[in-house]
């Protein structure tokens, strides 16, 4: 039986390359903050298109026969 068989995964073996648990937690915290920022930005970016659509006034085409007076809506 070797040392790698008996030691748990959380304890790094001497001479074995890898991240220390504290460094791994720091990297995980940074990744979590980036993921949370992305989760906040994506719905906001999606709603900008909806806002642009709702701010445009609807275009209404009115045809008036020649010589007649037309009414403008809202005037």
Domain enclosing residue 37, as ranges: 20-49
pTM over 0.85: no
Number of structural domains the chain divides into: 1
Q: Which residue in 1, 28, 3, 27 sits closest to 15, CA to CA? A: 3
Asked if the structure places residue 29 within a domain, the reply is: yes
Residue 32 has a pLDDT of 97
Asked if the structure places residue 43 within a domain, the reply is: yes
Residue 13 has a pLDDT of 60
C-alpha span between 26 and 30 (Å, rounded) = 6
Is a pLDDT exceeding 60 seen at residue 75?
A: no
Asked if the structure places residue 45 within a domain, the reply is: yes
pLDDT tens profile 10-66: 666 666 677 888 999 999 999 999 999 999 888 777 777 777 777 777 777 778 888
Residue 34 has a pLDDT of 95
Asked if the structure places residue 25 within a domain, the reply is: yes
């Amino acid at each position: 039986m070797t040392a790698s068989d008996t030691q748990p995964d959380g304890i790094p073996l001497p001479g074995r390359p890898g991240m220390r648990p504290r460094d791994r937690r720091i990297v995980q915290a940074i990744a979590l903050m980036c993921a949370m920022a992305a989760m906040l930005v994506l719905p906001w970016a999606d709603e900008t298109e909806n806002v642009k659509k709702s701010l445009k006034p609807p275009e209404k085409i009115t045809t008036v026969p020649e010589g007649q007076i037309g009414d403008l809506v809202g005037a």
